[in-house]
Chain A
């Protein structure tokens, strides 16, 4: 196969490399999950959800490269959109809650579950 390529020698990603990226993605996702469960600061909890978004994006890009199809990259754009919208709304809410009780602790709002 001699189709000309811009910068790279014709290369195909192996499953080996794919599993590496998936491993990184899984570890980042689980770290984000543990952080969401363990931290008590509301802002950090939302930051941990951003970390989980990030892990999903890495998996998408790795699969996109593996299948040689850019749709995975297109989907990451939508992930970014949702992450930005979530950050704006969540932070607006957090500021509102902070003004009410002067604390960022999520436990301060535990009466909501009753």
Chain B
């Protein structure tokens, strides 16, 4: 591709970003948003033309697909537009809501990439838990409106810090990334062919013996698995060796397509069987973060138990204990 295309696109995009970061008339900022999104779409389309000229990689016997491009364009435009609105909106609560929009549209992108488990985990964890925490803190730290201007925003939300420098950094970074993406294409090949990948998926089924034996029991009742229930690919079909009831020699039995491990099973198997230590470490990190958050939150508590009870309108306990027993060494 002509190297000036990502350069020009990133330049226009950065200029649009600069305009949107500064306070100005609504029409100007809206126009800049339209120009920026248009440039993004232009870059995507030019990339398509470039790659179509260089030819597609060898794909084995599998059917190549260009995926539903329309849905890609819709969801990524939503994601990019809400991301831009998120960093330009003066009200923090709206920023958090626009980020929810980004999360939802990238969950849709994950679905198109056949990562079903991660799509739903993203919506539950990000939109459901992390963003709620953000909203909660935003409400907690909301500044009381001053006197006669109930809708006035504090300065630090309205005025950006050095929008020009930020736009220049963004331009350099984006130019670098996009030219790398478009130049690097044509050299990268999938690390395995479709056949190998599919064989590896069926191989995972060997770790789920109960599912295999249930399928065998369903297909030919009374037969027993031999060869430890290993999955063999015969004539492009996944099969197992079984001894049928009343027979002496093993025969092969085709497995139905419906027991192919799905995305959740594959991710779970990968997580638990291949990265058990990382999984434990992730748990430790979460635990430590919880401890840290609790310690940080305790820092400001200076009331003893009696004062707390009094504030809640309850009877004093008249416990005569040393104060420093309760403040956890934090309330100095």
Q: Is the CB of A104 within 8 A of B195?
A: no
CB contacts between A and B, total, < 8 Å: 320
Q: Cβ of B208 < 8 Å from any Cβ of A?
A: no
> Contacts A33-B170, A70-B267 hold; do A54 and B103 have CB atoms under 8 A apart?
yes
Interface range, A side = 35 or more
Q: Indicate whether B316 reaches chain A with its CB closer than 8 angstroms.
A: no
Chain A stretch 59-94: residues in CB contact (< 8 A) with chain B: 61-62, 64-71, 73-74, 76-78, 80-89, 91-94
- Majority SS at the chain B contact face: helix
Inter-chain contact A43/B154, CB cutoff 8 Å: no
CB-CB under 8 A from B166, the residues of chain A are: 34, 37-38
A29 to B177, Cβ gap below 8 A?
Answer: yes
Q: With A21-B113, A61-B113, A96-B299 known to touch, is A47 a contact of B285 (CB < 8 Å)?
A: no
Q: Given A89-B296, A103-B156, A51–B62 Cβ distance below 8 Å?
A: no
Interface size class, chain B:
35 or more
Residues of B contacting A38 with CB < 8 Å? 21, 87, 160-163, 166
Given contacts A12-B194, A54-B102, 9 further A-B contacts (CB under 8 A): A3-B198, A4-B260, A13-B67, A15-B188, A19-B182, A40-B156, A50-B126, A58-B106, A91-B134
Q: Can you list 13 A-B contacts with CB-CB less than 8 angstroms, sorted by A residue number?
A: A1-B236, A15-B185, A23-B47, A28-B106, A31-B80, A37-B161, A44-B95, A54-B103, A71-B274, A74-B267, A85-B286, A86-B289, A92-B296
Residues of B within 8 A of A (CB): 13, 17, 21, 40, 43-44, 47-48, 51-52, 56-57, 59-67, 69, 72, 76, 79-80, 83-84, 86-87, 92, 95-96, 99, 102-103, 106, 109-110, 113-115, 117-118, 121-122, 125-126, 129-130, 133-134, 137-138, 140-141, 143, 154-157, 159-163, 165-167, 169-170, 173-174, 177-178, 181-182, 185-186, 188, 190-192, 194-195, 197-198, 202, 233, 236-238, 256-258, 260, 262-263, 266-267, 270-271, 274-275, 278, 282, 285-286, 288-290, 292-293, 296-297, 299-300
